[in-house]
């Protein structure tokens, strides 16, 4: 019994080593020039603020943390209602509302409305499916409507543009 209790105590110490401390709040922050003539809109709210994202933060500068948070959202340009965190007294993380242009959003050459194809493997055979991109979800995946009208999530690495 004593070994079990000490094992759980050791596990709790190992998993609670991550400390996240808020070090500041800002109204708006950007590492890029903002064009005042463009009509920007909210593309994503509270981006970068989940506990999982904060614990995984590995940005050594605030500028890198801002860039990672903005680039994660297709069409993102700058952050509003920003909170800056210090993770493990070494790394920075940023949470905020990402503003940009969702109508012109492209990521890795893909945009909403593009026709795409991807491979599927069934019964030791390779087949191809096609569909249309409905929206760019984040920096890793997009939502695609296939030929049957079902909306599925696919990684950008798994799809290619159709002619």
58: helix, strand or coil: coil
Q: What is the CATH number of domain 106-161?
A: 2.30.30.520
| Between 76 and 102, the higher pLDDT residue | 76
Which pLDDT value is given to residue 55? 83
Backbone angles phi, psi at 33, to 5 degrees: -75, 140
* Cα 133 to Cα 81: distance, rounded to the nearest angstrom: 30
pTM of the full structure: 0.65
Which pLDDT value is given to residue 112? 82
Of 5-19, 89-103, 129-143, the one with minimum mean pLDDT is 5-19
pLDDT above 60 (res 16): no
* Cα 38 to Cα 40: distance, rounded to the nearest angstrom: 6
| Between 137 and 81, the higher pLDDT residue | 81
Q: Where in the chain is the domain with CATH 2.30.30.520?
A: 106-161
As a whole-number percent, the residues of the chain with pLDDT over 70 amount to 86
Q: pLDDT tens digit string along 26-67?
A: 999 988 888 888 888 888 888 888 888 888 888 999 999 999
pLDDT, average across residues 66-85:
89
pLDDT above 90 (res 80): yes
């Amino acid at each position: 019994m004593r070994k079990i209790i000490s094992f759980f105590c050791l596990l709790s110490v190992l998993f609670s080593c991550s400390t996240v401390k808020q070090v500041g709040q800002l109204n708006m922050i950007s590492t890029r020039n903002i064009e005042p003539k463009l009509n920007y809109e909210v593309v994503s709210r509270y981006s970068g603020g989940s506990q999982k994202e904060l614990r995984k933060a590995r940005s050594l500068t605030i500028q890198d943390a801002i860039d990672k948070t903005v680039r994660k959202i297709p069409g993102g340009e700058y952050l509003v209602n920003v909170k800056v965190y210090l993770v493990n007294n070494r790394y920075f993380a940023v949470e905020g509302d990402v503003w940009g242009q969702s109508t012109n959003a492209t990521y890795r050459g893909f945009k909403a409305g593009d026709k795409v194809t991807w491979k599927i493997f069934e019964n030791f055979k390779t087949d191809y499916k096609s569909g249309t991109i409905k929206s760019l979800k984040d920096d890793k995946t997009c939502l695609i409507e296939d030929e049957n009208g079902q909306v599925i999530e696919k990684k950008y690495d798994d799809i290619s543009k159709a002619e």
